[in-house]
Structure 1
Amino acid sequence: MRTIISALLALLALAMTAAGLASTWVDENFVQESGFVALAAPLADDAGFQAELSDALVEEVTGSVGLPEQLDAVVEPLIRDAAGAVTRSAAYPATWTETLELSHALTFARAPDPSEPAPAILVLDLGPVVHLVTDSVGGGLGLEIPVPSDTTVGIGSIERGGLLSGIADVVQPWRLYLVAAAVLALLAVVIARRRGTTLALLGLGVAGIGLLGLLARHWVPSLAGQTPGTNAIADVFLTGLATRAGADIASASLPVIVGGLVALVVGLVLQVAFGPRRRA
């Protein structure tokens, strides 16, 4: 009976550990504005990402400003050159950070009323970047280039306000999840007949959780690729963000693997040193 209870407590401890670690990452890197900005800000220095974003931005701006066809043919190459120059300018990192802050605020805006259409999961507001591009082009031509009336880009199609507010409520008590996991693990070891073996198995389970996180470098971008965006900009941003998120989760998983392996070794040593010995 003790063995069964110990095994159940160990399984609950591992489940709470996985929930606590996942909640910790989501809260610190997605729900908290500072974490979201820190996660996505390095994309401003990613030449490949910025090249793709620049191309997508050109299509978005030229397709929505409503210029006459004759003028559009002249302005489009200028916008393309300006977009490339802007993403390489000294002012761009601050503009990109402002874009991320606005996007985070919109993403976690209030839940819509039942009569309102469901907004996107994640909303990217490119207003600061679009203004920087159009001001650059307009200053060179000596005329005012109209800015699209809506510079937001939706990613996904399920309700953002209610859903993400619910996610925030679930992940923010991550400290309680980890404390509960520690208590359950301790009870599992105390109740077990073979405490060293139980500790070793708990360590093996924690290392397994860390290994799953290590594989996030591959499965997070793959999962993001299956989420439909509204246009090319949405796809480019989601891919870039998912790549950053997968790499960050993988990096954060290394200490988890090490901790699990340490618990595994300690458990095995304790079992060998203090476990029941067979009579000769």
Structure 2
Amino acid sequence: MDLQPKDLMRTLLSALLAFLALCAAAIGLASAWIDENLVQESGFVALAAPLAEDADFQMALSDSLVEEVTGRTGLPDRLDSFVEPLVRNAAGAVTEASGYPAAWSETLRLSHAFTFAQAPDAAEPAPAVLTLDLGPVVQLVADGIGGGLGVDVPLPEDTTIDIGSIERGGLLSGVADVVQSWALYLAGAGILAVLALLAARRRGTTVALLGAGVLVIGVLGLLAREWVPAAAARAPGTSAIADVFVRGLAERAGADIAVSSLPVLVGGLVVLVLGVVLQLVAGRRRRA
């Protein structure tokens, strides 16, 4: 039986509303993850803290600490001949020090605060999407060297490492502001889904399609385990420690997104099955 113009308009309107609901849901779920794990300091520290135990990162960190301490401490020239071996020993041992976990956590907190700070002014742009401040870990190395030499080792004036190429205070701050409204996006998705159901001629079919859409969102989240690290690997590097940090953070982010997507996947499957059941029941009633 051909659809009447009124029925066709209802079907098209329902389909459009369902599509918009799924788009809003996808944006809301992505924004919720970004806000919780990157924008919020506690989430960022929890996500990145385990990198301190990664062997590749520890090696890159050790090399970076040697460069930071030997290159910019301002030690007397007479100490130059033997200070670098001491620095290397101290840098290599820093990851075994009792204060290392706390220093690394403080590094992440400082880095997060520095990254999300506004750029100071237009004349001095801050060109990094993430800035890693190694100050607390450098302090551990300096303390170790100072204890061995019997002198105070001055810290470098700048212990930051830039990672990425997006200006702070610009796009990054804008993204941080946008994702914090994730609850509104999800509420909007729910309202659009209800409107799609009210406009639908066959609500069981619409429920099934919404479930299928949520299922697709969940599958895309599972695939993040592969494509997030792959995207990070293609990004241009700025230093050895930056490359290792970005790769390790991307691997953890991809894995966390995949785990967070499992409830979405299950929810989509349940809604899909419910829609199919509702449509079968409605079909039997029409035939009765």
Given the two structures, how large is their TM-score scaled by the length of structure 1? 0.92
How many angstroms does 1:60 deviate by?
3.7
Say if 1:123 and 1:152, in contact at 8 Å, map to a contact too: yes
Q: Against the structure 1 CA distance between its residues 231 and 66, is the aligned structure 2 distance closer, same or farther, given a 3 Å change threshold?
A: farther
How many angstroms does 1:70 deviate by?
7.8
User: C-alpha offsets along residues 57-100 of structure 1, whole Å, 9 cap, x if unaligned?
Assistant: 32343344466788445333322222222112221111111111
* Aligned AA (1:165): S
Say yes or no: does 1:14 pair with 2:34: no
Q: Report the structure number with the largest CA radius of gyration.
A: 2
Q: Residue 209 of structure 2: which of 195, 201, 206 is its match?
A: 201
**Residue segments in structure 1 that go unaligned for 5+ positions in a row:** none
Q: Residue 163 of structure 2: which of 143, 149, 155 is its match?
A: 155
Aligned length: 280
Q: Indicate the residue corresponding to 1:164 in structure 2.
A: 172
Q: Against the structure 1 CA distance between its residues 105 and 17, is the aligned structure 2 distance closer, same or farther, given a 3 Å change threshold?
A: same
Q: Indicate the residue corresponding to 1:121 in structure 2.
A: 129
Say if 1:13 and 1:181, in contact at 8 Å, map to a contact too: yes
Q: Indicate the residue corresponding to 1:226 in structure 2.
A: 234
Q: Indicate the residue corresponding to 2:181 in structure 1.
A: 173
Give secondary structure in 1 for the equivalent of 2:162: strand
Percent of aligned positions that are identical: 70
Q: Indicate the residue corresponding to 1:78 in structure 2.
A: 86
Q: Indicate the residue corresponding to 2:244 in structure 1.
A: 236
Give secondary structure in 1 for the equivalent of 2:131: strand
Give secondary structure in 1 for the equivalent of 2:170: helix
Distance 1:232 1:64 in 2: 18
Distance 2:78 2:208 in 1: 73
Q: RMSD of the TM alignment (CA)?
A: 2.1
How many angstroms does 1:111 deviate by?
3.1
- Of the structure 1 ranges 15-24 and 85-94, higher mean CA displacement relative to structure 2 is found in 85-94
How many angstroms does 1:29 deviate by?
0.9
Q: Indicate the residue corresponding to 1:102 in structure 2.
A: 110
* Aligned AA (2:99): A
Q: Against the structure 1 CA distance between its residues 228 and 57, is the aligned structure 2 distance closer, same or farther, given a 3 Å change threshold?
A: farther
Q: Against the structure 1 CA distance between its residues 220 and 70, is the aligned structure 2 distance closer, same or farther, given a 3 Å change threshold?
A: farther
* Aligned AA (2:226): H
Distance 2:236 2:154 in 1: 29
Say yes or no: does 1:264 pair with 2:272: yes
* Aligned AA (2:181): P
Correspondences of 1:47-58 after superposition (within 5 Å): 47-58=55-66
User: C-alpha offsets along residues 96-140 of structure 1, whole Å, 9 cap, x if unaligned?
Assistant: 111111111111112332222343111111000011012112211
**Residue segments in structure 2 that go unaligned for 5+ positions in a row:** 1-8
Q: Residue 135 of structure 1: which of 138, 143, 149 is its match?
A: 143
Say if 2:166 and 2:172, in contact at 8 Å, map to a contact too: no
Distance 2:97 2:258 in 1: 31
Q: Against the structure 1 CA distance between its residues 226 and 112, is the aligned structure 2 distance closer, same or farther, given a 3 Å change threshold?
A: farther
Say if 2:51 and 2:245, in contact at 8 Å, map to a contact too: no
